[in-house]
Structure 1
C-alpha cells in the first residue's frame, strides 16, 4: 500500500471516529481514532525508514510503531499520548476484568472519547504537517512543534 493510501485511510478512519462519537458510540470512536493514528504513523515510517516493508508494519501497538521512527519525529509527549490512546483503545474493544463485568460501551464515556479524539487530532495534524512540509522528501526537514 502506498504512503498516500495509508494517509487517505487514516483520514477516513478519523472521520468515522468523529461520526461514531456524534452518535454515542464512544468505544468505537476511540478504536477508530487509534486506527487512524496507526495508519498515519505507518505512512510516516514508510516515508522515513528506507527499505522497510509493509510486512514489517503488521503491528497495531502505537508505541512499537513510534520506536521505528527517527528520534526527531517523536517526542516524550507524543509517546505519552500514544501510550494513553493505546491503553484506552484496548479496553474500548473487549470486556475485561477491568470493566467490572460491564461491556466497553458502558465504560467508554463521552469524556474519554473526547480526550482520545483531541489527542488523535493533534497527532494526525503533526504527522500530516511533516508530510506536507517535506513534500515527501524528509532528509533535511525539522518537524513542527508538538505540545
Structure 2
C-alpha cells in the first residue's frame, strides 16, 4: 500500500471515533432519562467504535464483530501505544447482549429496562467515558505507515479448545461452586471455529448476585486466555423455570446440542 493511500485509509478512523463520541453522549442522555438499558447499550457501542477507530488508524480493516475483548486483543497486536495503556471495561462488557436479547434474562416478568439499575448504568457509562479519553490520547500519537498483515480467518485447534475448557472449568468452579457447566454453540459442535469467535458457556449455580454481577464475575475470572467466554449464569430455579415453563428455544438447543463439561458430584 503506498503512503498516500495508507494515510487516506487511516483518516477514516476519525469517523469511527466521532460516532463513538456521539454514542457516549446518547448514553448520558439515556442515563439522565432513566433508560438504563439503552444507556448501557450505547456505552458499549461507544467503546466498540473507539476500538475500531484504533484498528483503522493502524491501517487495518476492522472485523465485523462486537465483542469488546476480542477487539481489544486485535488492538494490542497492532498498536504498541494501545498495548501500554490500561483499560477497565469488563463490567461494561457485561451489557453486550442484555438489551438486544431480553429472553436471556432470568424470570418471567421483568424486562432489561426493569432489571438494570441506575448504579449499574452509571458505572458502565463512567467506564466508557474513561475508555474514550484514553483512546483519544492514543489517536493523537503518530503511527508510521505500514502494511498491516492482519487476517481474521485463523482457527482454533482442538487442543487449544480443550486446554482452554479445563482452565475455564476450574475458574468457574472456584467462583460459583456450580451445579453444572455446559458448553454450547459452535464450540460444542466439533467444528472449526474462528479465533474471533467467543465461547458460549452456561453456568447453573446457587447465587444471590444480580444477573449483571454474575456475568461480570464469570468474565473477570476467565479473562486470561482465548477463546473468550460469553457466559450466562442462572440459579437452578431460574433455569428450570425457563426450560419447563417458558420453553426458551435457545436453552432447549443448548441442552440438546451442548456438552456438559462439569457436573457437581451428588452428595
TM-score range, shorter chain: 0.7 to 0.9
**Counterpart Cα distance in 1 of 2:20 and 2:39:** 13
More helix per residue: 1
Q: Given that residues 21 and 110 in structure 1 are in contact (C-alpha distance below 8 angstroms), is that contact kept between their aligned partners in structure 2?
A: yes
More strand per residue: 2
Q: Which position in structure 1 is the counterpart of 2:35?
A: 25
**Counterpart Cα distance in 1 of 2:127 and 2:83:** 14
**Counterpart Cα distance in 1 of 2:14 and 2:129:** 18
Mark the runs of 5 or more structure 2 residues left unpaired by the alignment: 1-8, 145-267
CA offsets, 1:24-55, max 9 Å, x none? Answer: 0000000001000000110011112x3x224x
After TM superposition, what 4+ stretches of structure 1 lie above 3 angstroms from structure 2? 74-77, 96-99
Q: Which position in structure 2 is the counterpart of 1:119?
A: 127
Residue 15 (1) aligns with residue 25 (2): yes
* CA root-mean-square deviation: 2.1
- 1:1-147 matches, within 5 Å, as 2-48=12-58, 50=59, 52-54=60-62, 57-70=63-76, 72=80, 73-74=82-83, 78=87, 81-101=88-108, 102-132=110-140, 134=141, 137-139=142-144
Q: Given that residues 27 and 104 in structure 1 are in contact (C-alpha distance below 8 angstroms), is that contact kept between their aligned partners in structure 2?
A: yes
With normalisation by structure 2, the TM-score equals: 0.45
Question: Which structure would you say has the larger RCO, counting Cα contacts within 8 Å and 6 or more residues apart?
Answer: 1
Corresponding residue pairs, total: 130
Closer/same/farther in 2, CA of residues 75 and 87 from structure 1, 3 Å limit? farther
Q: Given that residues 99 and 107 in structure 1 are in contact (C-alpha distance below 8 angstroms), is that contact kept between their aligned partners in structure 2?
A: no
Mark the runs of 5 or more structure 1 residues left unpaired by the alignment: 140-147
1:63 to partner: Cα distance? 0.5
